[in-house]
Structure 1
Amino acid sequence: MSWYLESVYKRNKEAPYTFYIPSQEVIDILRIGDMVKLIFVFETRADGYAGERMWVKITHRDMENFKGVLSNDPFNISELKIGQEISFRAEHICDTEYNDPNASKWDYYFDTKIIVSNDVLERNEFNFMLKDDPKDGQDSGWSVLSGYEDDRFLSNSDNFQYISIGVILNIDDSVLSFIDEPPLCAYERNDHGVFYKIEDYDWESYLA
């Protein structure tokens, strides 16, 4: 078989703040006739695509085990056809047609933006955070640095990205304890790996 079903639980564990999975409340109410979305992954990638998300209509349920029929034709998996029976488990369901009571937290992780240096993303590490006044409704006001950037790096705007806050939380979610603190504030990681507030940060120089 040239494809397999992705475990969304595994993907969520790897990226808990950027890979959405339906809440258990939603999984529990799924019944025959409902539509669910699964991720079909190619064993051999086709045209650069790693997989396809497709809807399946549930025809049978036994606890966490399901059967259903594929509701659309895949683009790149010739072994799959619309109407084909698919066996799957709850761990394979990446979306449903139900309103998820936990969806609001995902909106925050996806829609709230931060400024982050490319060095943070390359190292998968950050050690300094500064919060200025937000520029718009999506902007959190936070800027995030690895702590290894030099002045030349910091002076080049191309070295920074405006991304979802969930990306940073995937690296270290301990910052949730102060993420909603109002500006102006700055935090730095100490030698024990814990963030502390910089009480004497030079805001006058920063704002100038």
Structure 2
Amino acid sequence: MERGVGRFRDRLRGWFGRYAIEDPRPTAAKAPYTFYLPSENELLAVSPGDLVKLIFRSIPDSGEWDAERMWVIVTAAEGARLTGTLDNDPLDMPQLKAGDAVTFDRAHIIDIDWSEDRAAPPPTAPERREYWDRCFVDDQILDGRLKVEFLYREEPDPPREGDKYPDSGWRFRCDTRGLTDAEYDNPSFSYIALGKVLNGDDSWLHLIDAPVGSAFLRDRDTGAFHPTAMPDVGDD
């Protein structure tokens, strides 16, 4: 029964559904260390023949995905407004298919694959450091509730099977004054990209290249970090 209802819903979406192209700038502003956008010069250089990636959101919502990132072949450019044809088949967006015409703004572009047949070479992308190496961090820092209070860098863990990025050795603990008794007794932490920690609290960024064996504690009065002793094995 549920499968039949789902098929009928998909048919209705195909007949009457719409889609919106999402403006990625608010997301980039909230996650500047993990969500990177092309530079202004790159956006201005996009021209017919280039492939660009956009974020499509289904209206009504998809039952499977919040949004889908898909490639579009640019066919026309007039100022800030571009036109192209969809180069992907959506996973769950029956109102849209490969080859459909799409109109969008340059500011909607999240990635660019430059055409080899361009009349002029694309602009040089600005140098940008990325922060994908992994670390252990208290979950209260990731959700934005608490700030980093104590950080230290130990010998990185060996690579795990399937790891794309190595362990940085960094470990981050939150201000324990903000924890409930249950949270204090049962710490909750994640193994995640350094950029995710920076998105929540980048006050420690100037310390990121400190060597293994470094440890820092935040001064609760000034907010500044000061060198301190490494924790004993088993403290975290």
Q: TM-score, normalised on structure 2?
A: 0.73
Give, as a single letter, the amino acid of the residue that structure 1 aligns with 2:71: W
CA contact (8 A) 1:187 1:195 kept: no
| Structure number with larger C-alpha Rg | 2
2:195 paired with 1:166: yes
Which AA in structure 2 matches 1:165?
A: L
Q: Which of the pair is proportionally richer in strand?
A: 1
Q: Among residues 145, 155, 159, which one is paired with 1:133 in the alignment?
A: 155
Partner of 2:107: 91
Match of 1:146?
174
Quote the residue 2:125 is aligned against: 101
Paired position in structure 2 for 1:121: 142
Q: Any residues of structure 2 matched to 1:10-25 within 5 Å, and which?
A: 10-25=26-41
Work out whether residues 76 and 84 of structure 2, in 8 Å CA contact, stay in contact via their aligned partners in 1.
Answer: yes
Give 4+ residue runs of structure 1 displaced > 4 Å after superposition: none
Relative to structure 2, which stretch is displaced further, 114-123 or 52-61?
114-123
TM-score normalised to structure 1 length: 0.82
Alpha carbons of 1:49 and 1:116: their partners in 2 closer, same or farther (altered >3 Å)? same
Give the distance between the partners of 1:113 and 1:39, measured in 2 at CA.
26
Aligned twin of 1:206: 232
Residue of structure 2 equivalent to 1:190: 219
CA distance, structure 2, for counterparts of residue 101 and residue 138 of structure 1: 25
Please identify which structure carries the higher helix content: 1
Shift of 1:151: 6.5
Gaps of 5+ in 1: none
Q: Distance in 1 between matches of 2:139 and 2:57?
A: 29
CA separation in 1, counterparts of 2:222 and 2:141?
A: 15
In structure 2, give the amino acid aligned to 1:39: I
Instruction: Quote how far apart the aligned CAs of 1:102 are.
Output: 4.4
CA gap 1:124/1:48 in 2 versus in 1, 3 angstroms: farther
- What percent identity do the matched residue pairs reach? 30
**Counterpart Cα distance in 1 of 2:38 and 2:214:** 35
Question: d(CA) in 1 for partners of 2:58 and 2:69?
Answer: 11
- Aligned residue-pair number: 198
Q: 1:62 to 1:183 in 2, by over 3 A?
A: same
Q: Secondary structure, in 3 states, of the residue corresponding to 2:99?
A: coil
**Equivalent residue, structure 2, for 1:46:** 62
1:69 to 78, 85, 109: 85
Change (3 A) 1:103 1:164: farther
Give CA-to-partner distance per residue, 1:106-139, whole Å, 9 cap, x none: 3xx12x1111122333425322211112235822
Aligned-CA RMSD value:
2.6
1:137-192 deviation per Cα after TM superposition (whole angstroms, max 9, x unaligned): 822211011122677435xxxx3321000001101222111111112222223335
Distance between the aligned counterparts of 1:175 and 1:21, measured in 2?
23
CA distance in 2, matches of 1:103, 1:51: 29
Gaps of 5+ in 2: 1-16, 115-121, 159-164
For residue 79 of structure 1, report the CA deviation from its aligned partner: 2.3
Amino acid paired to 2:219: N
